[in-house]
Amino acid sequence: MFAILSFTKDYYNHAFLEMLQNIPDMTWTPTIPERFKGMSQGDVYAHFMPLNVYKSVQTEQQESVEGNAPITFSWLDYIKQCMTVREQGKCGSCWAFSAVGSFSDNRCIKSYTEPHTVYSEQYMVSCDKTSLGCSGGYISKDVVFLKNTGVPTEKCVSYKSGKTNVTGSCPTKCDDGSALTTVKSKSYRSVCSSENSIKNAIYIGTIQTALTVYDDFMYYKSGIYQHKSGAQIGGHGVIFVGYGEQNGVKYWDVRNSWGTGWGEKGYFRIIRGQNECNIEHECYLIEV
């Protein structure tokens, strides 16, 4: 596991916040988010894939997605009803939320599920034995699980680990005792070979990705995030939903799994085109 100074003291530091607020030419606004106020370091770090897990990920061979994606694009501007901000709670299940979230998005985008159907992150957390449940997972394994096993709907198997921080046993029936059936993806493509490849892939559907989280990311409120200060905390699975440019600064639109009260209504923007925090290192288009 990763090293920390104290697992029990309050994570947030007002001196660190003031330092961030005084950095010139910042493209983002720092704060202490309500969602994390009063949490200990242990509580905060539990949200992420431990560094030893995250850094052990073996990247699949990447392909270049060809196409003519526009200069700016976001699914939030086109099919916002297909985008649902979820809440992972205190379980380190971001890996499942990014995989199942993108799968749910793309089925909705393809009009397989109208209105938007949310699929079960809990089923992946409890049943994907190649990952570590609430202790983290591998996005390269998630896409295989979706293709080979699939997931039921959230209505069938609801999310529980966010309250308990317990991975739980793999269910064989829906919560109400009815028969459990899963829906599988058709395939997946590793698309982080270049900025243009990612843009072209996003023009097809939302993309599962991950980033290295540093201390300063935990102070994000709004704007275009760029790492400025602080140590690495862990890896975090998220979803590319679009891209754009503001005042000459290129960015990715990204959906998080910390509820709508965090960041920009559950989303954040991050510098595009320079593999900021490794967010352009490994990502997957989940084909439905």
Beta-bridge mates of residue 253 = 242, 269
Q: Provide the 8-state DSSP code for 203.
A: T
How far does CA 150 lie from the centroid of its chain?
A: 19
Euclidean distance between CA atoms 283 and 288, whole angstroms: 16
The single residue of 108, 256, 277, 283 carrying the catalytic annotation is: 256
Q: Is 156 a catalytic residue?
A: no
Q: How do beta strands 249-255 and 267-271 pair?
A: antiparallel
Q: Do residues 279 and 210 make contact, with C-beta atoms less than 8 angstroms apart?
A: yes
What's the one-letter identity of residue 233?
A: I
CA 181 to chain centre: 25
Instruction: Kindly state the tokens that stand for 83.
Output: 């985008």
Q: Are 89 and 162 in contact (CB under 8 A)?
A: yes
Q: Taking CA 201 as the corner, what is the angle to CA 198 and CA 205, rounded to the nearest 5 degrees? A: 130
Q: Please name the residue that has the structure tokens 């957390």.
A: 125
Catalytic residue among 91, 94, 127, 156: 94
Q: Is 14 a catalytic residue?
A: no
Q: Which of 91, 200, 236, 277 is catalytic?
A: 236
Task: Classify 51 in phi/psi space as left (phi over 0), alpha (psi -120 to 50) or beta.
Answer: alpha
Give dist(CA 96, CA 129) in Å, integer: 12
What dihedral do alpha carbons 119, 125, 126, 132 form, nearest 10°? Answer: 160
Q: Is 200 a catalytic residue?
A: no
* Active-site amino acid positions: 94, 236, 256
